[in-house]
Amino acid sequence: MKTLAAVVYEMELPAPYAESRPIKIEELELEVPKEGEILVELTSAGLCHSDLSVLNGSRPRPMPMVLGHEAAGVVRELGPNVRDLKIDDHVIFTFCPTCGHCVPCATGRPVLCDCGQEANAQGTLLSGERRFTNKDGKKMNHHCGVSCFSQFTVAARESVVKVDPALPMDKASLFGCAVITGAGAVFNRAAVEPGSSVAVFGLGGVGLSAVMAAKAAGATKIIAVDMLEHKFDLARKCGATHALNPADENFLEEIRDLTGGGPQCAIEAVGSEVAQISAYNAICRGGTMVTVGLAHPEKNFSVPAVSLVALEKAVLGCYMGSIVPSVDIPKYVEMYRAGLLPVDLLFSGFITLEEINASFDALARGDVIRQIIQFS
């Protein structure tokens, strides 16, 4: 079948992308789903910084690639031996398929699935195969097993979670990355407790989701940290009690004064080694810094080694919110419905597939949180 899709042939083209146009909108041939796969018609897909990281080369991926990893859609065809879904089911994508058999899967950490991580690095589905082909007969790589910047996509059954069709599909797409990554970092990795203090560094879709989750978890001091102060009002609507600019000369003194020596937890959602250092320095004795931002693979950050022992500070990585997709995505959806996670606040407006290059410029500038491609 034919599908209109957003294809990247080359990383690291110069910004602004509205001029260099790294993303080409092309008609591709899409194969029917094979064993254990499904065909999904996309309804909505979010533009995320992880997509931007592919464009600018800080998250290298094999080219050419059909981009996009945060989305929701409707099942239109089932491959052989897919028995727990049916036609017209509504699904949310997850960006790491899980085999269910490797050590991480078997020990309750499916987002670290060996097979899923390998497939994502190679640009394939969980089967090791590719389903998109361009007009020249060249196979296109898949982005995180999802490739949702397309009218239709084929994915492994393990790449989706079924959801209630009553959930608005434009909001459903946000649970595929922004919400699970930010909220999961708070609930699963940081294990934020009622009455605690939390600082969130970086107020994009992931960071603001972490702010919402910190409030839902009962944190009483929630400090939103970003260099773009126009985001502070939105952060307060999401649950922040205070907002600070880390570029301010007295930043560390201010955050320590607010929290009585530093927050007990800091969530770093920038993807910058500079932000990681700032978050680590901010936390109190015995505090924990959880980093969810994807920094450039060549970048490192360093801290005084003695502080890990003498101050009992902890540094934790967190990928995809450390979630179990089939359990946590429905849970977060129910929290949204109960008003505990005001996900609607992340929405910055609808765009078309043809507007995608300029829309990534807006994301890179920090003008928007989540722009949603609306397909139907």
- At residue 26, does pLDDT exceed 90? yes
CATH number for the domain including 236?
Answer: 3.40.50.720
Position 98 scores a pLDDT of 93
Q: Hey, what amino acid is at 178? A: A
Strand partners for 91: 73, 162
**Mapped to the 3 state alphabet, what secondary structure does the chain carry?**
CEEEEEEECCCCCCCCHHHHCCEEEEEEEECCCCCCEEEEEEEEEECCHHHHHHHCCCCCCCCCEECCCEEEEEEEEECCCCCCCCCCCEEEECCCCCCCCCHHHHCCCHHHCHHHHHHHHHCCCCCCCCCEECCCCCEEEECCCCCCCECEEEEEHHHEEEECCCCCHHHHHHHHCHHHHHHHHHHHHCCCCCCCEEEEECCCHHHHHHHHHHHHCCCCEEEEECCCHHHHHHHHHHCCCEEECCCCCCHHHHHHHHHCCCCCEEEECCCCHHHHHHHHHHCCCCCEEEECCCCCCCCCCCCCHHHHHHCCCEEEECCHHHCCHHHHHHHHHHHHHCCCCCHHHHEEEEECHHHHHHHHHHHHHCCCCEEEEECC
Separation between Cα atoms, residue 31 and residue 122, nearest integer Å? 19
Calculate the CA 52 to chain-centre distance: 11
Confidence band for 88, pLDDT divided at 50, 70 and 90 = very high
On whether residue 37 sits in a domain, the answer given is: yes
* End position of a domain, from candidates 277, 304, 319: 319
pLDDT band per the 50, 70, 90 thresholds, residue 202: very high
Domain housing 110: 2-176+342-374
| Alpha-carbon span 148 to 166, nearest angstrom | 21
User: Strand pairing partners for 225?
Assistant: 201, 244
- On whether residue 286 sits in a domain, the answer given is yes
| pLDDT score, position 322 | 98
Query: Looking at residues 186-194, what average pLDDT do you find?
Result: 98
- The whole-number pLDDT of residue 338 equals 97
Look up the pTM and report it: 0.97
Q: How far is CA 129 from the centre of its chain?
A: 24
- Alpha-carbon span 13 to 47, nearest angstrom: 18
- CA–CA distance, 34 with 273 (Å, rounded to integer): 41
62-85 pLDDT tens trace: 999 999 999 999 999 999 999 999
Give me the CATH number covering residue 358. 3.90.180.10
Can you tell me the mean pLDDT for 150-179? 97
Q: Quickly count: other Cβ atoms within 10 Å of residue 142's Cβ.
A: 31
Total count of domains within the chain:
2
For residues 304 and 214, state if they share a domain: yes
pLDDT at 370: 98
Mean pLDDT of 162-180: 96
Please give the pLDDT value at position 319: 97
pLDDT of residue 158: 97
**Confidence check: pLDDT of 115 > 80:** yes
Q: What is the pLDDT of residue 258?
A: 97
Instruction: Give the number of residues written for the chain.
Output: 376
How does pLDDT run across 291-343, given as a tens digit for each residue?
A: 999 888 899 999 999 999 999 999 999 999 999 999 999 999 999 999 999 99
**Same domain (yes/no): 129, 237:** no
Residue 170 belongs to a domain: yes
Contact call for residues 254 and 236 (beta carbons, < 8 A): no
- Residues 237 and 300 occupy one common structural domain: yes
Query: Longest Cα pair distance anywhere in the chain, in angstroms?
Result: 63
Residue 328 included in any domain: no
Angle at 151 between CA 159 and CA 2, to 5 degrees: 110
| Residue among 319, 71, 56 at smallest CA distance from 206 | 319
Q: What is the pLDDT of residue 223?
A: 98
Is residue 283 in some structural domain? yes
Average pLDDT (126-152) is 97
Give the angle subtended at the CA of 60 by the CAs of 360 and 152, to the nearest 5°.
60
Answer yes or no: is pLDDT of 376 > 90: no
pLDDT of residue 282: 97
**Beta partners for 372?**
46, 350
Q: What's the confidence (pLDDT) of residue 123?
A: 98
Instruction: For residues 297 and 202, state if they share a domain.
Output: yes
Contact predicate 163/333, CB 8 Å: yes
Q: Average of pLDDT values for 350-363?
A: 97
Confidence (pLDDT) at 2: 98
Tell me, yes or no, whether 308 and 368 share the same domain.
no
Is 142:125 a contact under the CB 8 Å cutoff? Answer: yes
The pLDDT score that the predictor gives to residue 36 is 97
Q: Are residues 187 and 218 in the same domain?
A: yes
Q: Give a yes or no: residue 334 inside a domain.
A: no
Give Cα separations from 235 to 84, 226, 307 (angstroms): 39, 10, 31
Residues 32 and 160 in one domain: yes
pLDDT tens, residue by residue, 227-236: 999 999 999 9
Whether 55 and 22 have beta carbons less than 8 Å apart is answered as yes
Any domain includes 256: yes
> Could you tell me if residue 104 is inside a domain?
yes
Res 23: pLDDT: 98
What average pLDDT score do residues 165-180 get? 96
Instruction: Tell whether 192 and 313 lie within a shared domain.
Output: yes
State whether 195 and 306 are in the same domain. Answer: yes
Q: Are residues 90 and 158 in the same domain?
A: yes
Residues 28 and 161 in one domain: yes
Residue 127 and residue 59 share a domain = yes
